[in-house]
């Protein structure tokens, strides 16, 4: 229990200390934001700060901080330190960087920010990669909540949950909501629904936290590794597997695709630390609570460790909260997935329209941009539900591609800070670390049981990945200085 409490203290202290440092480096000020200077009533719409904060939280807090940490805690109590430290130094900085760059670039989406800082060729390649990744996100975030809804409805209807009687009905309902939320003005559905969704999410998490603390005070050993837990503990290498598995509570490239959404709805740059950095810290708290709850249940009911993460989730909420309150908590997890999936589709629409300069004020043009995405996601859903192997492959691609986006965002942010002659270490260090992790994973993933990647021995992968990360760091610093010199000569 000690490591868990230390981890929570790191999160709180990190927001008020390191978060202040990051804010000082990016330097938000009183200049007009895109929401004010470019208001269009669709995507550029000024909204209250509390709404922006909840929207950002629900945009970024997908199923990773719940499902991911249920898998990730199998690496042991070390997770209670890695989540908050990685969150403060990496994930929250990443989200803040994406948001501030967008605020300073007319609310530009991530592909535009990458192109602006890394060059047109790099930007075009990244744009294609990100679109594919976002469509994978949408497919995953339709699939998972639909399965959870199917299980809930089957429980109420007393039908066999293995028959998936209601799955495709749930898919249709969730997908329809995504399309509607994507095309409507941001303040109409997202702005009105998210405060309710946010309340349910925080209610479910706080309920687990209170029960967990009561159980931990009564028996502190439930938050330590028991002999039974150690017997089933993951033997996979922490580097890179933990940071791929549990990444959404530590750092997630998907967040950088979401930060520009509220960069277009913020009235003041001075809201950046609470809206971007702070909401990632809050996601870290959510991840810590679910990791601790999973560890407790794995200690008390060791057989739960062998279950798939979504099934283990049900056992965790039933143990701590019972069926009724547990049902509300599972509903909050469904909300996590749905409120990330709808804005993933929205981000894809915005990026496509920005790339091809398609006016998004007319509803018909918004629908035309969405149409090919609807077709592709439908095909992905059909394919991923052919069997468990197909879905596992979809999830695997989503996991590592997510981290590639994080690397690109932090490298672009390093160049951005360098060309402004500001300290770059805050983005360069986490960016190079995640580049090292991602390269190591892709080089050695076949030896680790993943469906994609190469079979390079792990020790050799470490060396190659470290060398590549060093080269990328030198390139980012040099490019930043080159852009700074170009800007100076143009003045």
Residue in the block written with tokens 């965790």 = 316
Question: Of 110, 55, 96, nearest to 269 (Cα)?
Answer: 96
The CA distances from residue 411 to 95, 105, 430, in Å, are: 13, 17, 9
Question: Of 139, 67, 69, 127, nearest to 405 (Cα)?
Answer: 127
CB 182 within 8 A of CB 43: no
Tokens of 377: 């996601």
Residue in the block written with tokens 């000082």 = 24
The CA dihedral of 208, 211, 214, 220, to the nearest 10 degrees, is -50
CATH class in words for 2-403: mainly alpha
Per-residue pLDDT of the chain (491 residues; tens, 9 = 90+): 889 999 999 999 999 999 999 999 999 999 999 999 999 888 899 999 998 998 888 878 767 778 788 888 999 999 999 999 999 999 999 999 999 999 999 999 999 999 999 999 999 999 989 888 888 878 877 887 887 787 777 766 655 554 567 888 888 888 888 888 888 888 777 777 777 777 777 777 888 899 899 998 999 889 999 898 998 888 888 888 888 876 667 898 888 988 999 999 999 999 999 999 999 999 999 999 999 999 999 999 988 888 877 778 778 887 887 766 656 667 777 777 787 788 888 888 888 888 888 888 888 888 888 888 888 888 888 877 766 566 566 667 777 888 999 999 999 999 999 999 999 999 999 999 999 999 999 999 887 777 677 889 999 999 999 999 999 999 999 999 999 988 777 66
CB 312 within 8 A of CB 222: no
Report the distance separating Cα 292 and Cα 399, nearest Å.
Answer: 22
Q: Where are the domains of the chain?
A: 2-403
The CA distances from residue 166 to 145, 146, 151, 314, in Å, are: 12, 8, 8, 18
The CA distances from residue 26 to 22, 100, 276, 395, 416, in Å, are: 6, 7, 12, 34, 10
């Amino acid at each position: 229990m000690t490591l868990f409490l230390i981890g929570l203290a790191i999160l709180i202290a990190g927001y008020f200390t390191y978060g202040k440092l990051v804010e000082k480096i990016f330097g938000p000020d009183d200049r007009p934001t895109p929401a004010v200077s470019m208001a269009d009533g669709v995507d550029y719409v000024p909204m209250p700060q509390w709404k922006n904060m909840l929207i950002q939280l629900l945009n970024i807090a997908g199923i990773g901080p719940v499902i991911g940490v249920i898998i990730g805690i199998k690496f042991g109590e070390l997770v209670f330190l890695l989540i908050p430290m990685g969150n403060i130094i990496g994930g929250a900085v990443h989200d803040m960087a994406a948001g501030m760059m967008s605020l300073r670039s007319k609310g530009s989406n991530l592909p535009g920010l990458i192109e602006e800082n890394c060059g047109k060729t790099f930007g075009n390649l990244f744009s294609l990669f990100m679109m594919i990744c976002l469509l994978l996100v949408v497919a995953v975030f339709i699939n998972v909540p639909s399965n959870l809804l199917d299980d809930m409805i089957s429980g109420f209807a007393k039908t066999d949950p293995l028959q998936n009687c209601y799955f495709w009905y749930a898919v249709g309902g969730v997908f329809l909501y995504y399309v509607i939320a994507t095309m409507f003005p941001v303040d109409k559905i997202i702005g009105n629904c998210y405060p309710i969704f946010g309340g349910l999410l925080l209610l479910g998490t706080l309920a687990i936290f209170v029960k967990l603390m009561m159980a931990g005070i009564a028996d502190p050993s439930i938050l330590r590794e028991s002999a039974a837990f150690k017997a089933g503990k993951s033997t996979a290498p922490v580097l890179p597997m933990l940071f791929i598995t549990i990444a959404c509570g530590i750092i997630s490239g998907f967040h950088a695709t979401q930060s520009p959404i509220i960069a277009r709805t913020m009235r003041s740059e001075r809201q950046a630390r609470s809206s971007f950095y702070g909401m990632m810290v809050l996601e870290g708290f959510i991840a810590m609570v679910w990791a601790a709850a999973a560890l407790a249940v794995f200690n008390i009911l060791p057989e739960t460790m062998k279950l798939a993460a979504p099934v283990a989730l049900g056992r965790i909420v039933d143990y701590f909260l019972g069926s009724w309150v547990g049902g509300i908590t599972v509903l909050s997890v469904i909300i996590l997935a749905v409120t990330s999936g709808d804005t993933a589709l929205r981000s894809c629409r915005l990026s496509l329209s920005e790339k091809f300069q398609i006016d998004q004020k007319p509803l018909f043009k918004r629908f035309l941009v969405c149409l090919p995405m609807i077709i592709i996601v439908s095909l992905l859903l059909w394919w991923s539900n052919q069997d468990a192997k197909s879905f596992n492959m979809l999830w695997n691609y989503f996991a590592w591609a997510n981290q590639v986006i994080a690397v690109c965002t932090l490298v672009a942010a390093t160049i951005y800070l360098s060309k402004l002659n500001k300290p770059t270490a805050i983005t360069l260090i986490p960016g190079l670390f995640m580049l090292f992790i991602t390269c190591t994973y892709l080089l050695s993933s076949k030896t680790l049981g993943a469906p994609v990647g190469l079979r390079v021995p792990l020790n050799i992968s470490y060396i190659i990945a470290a060398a590549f990360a060093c080269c990328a760091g030198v390139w980012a610093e040099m490019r930043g200085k080159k852009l700074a010199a170009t800007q100076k000569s143009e003045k």
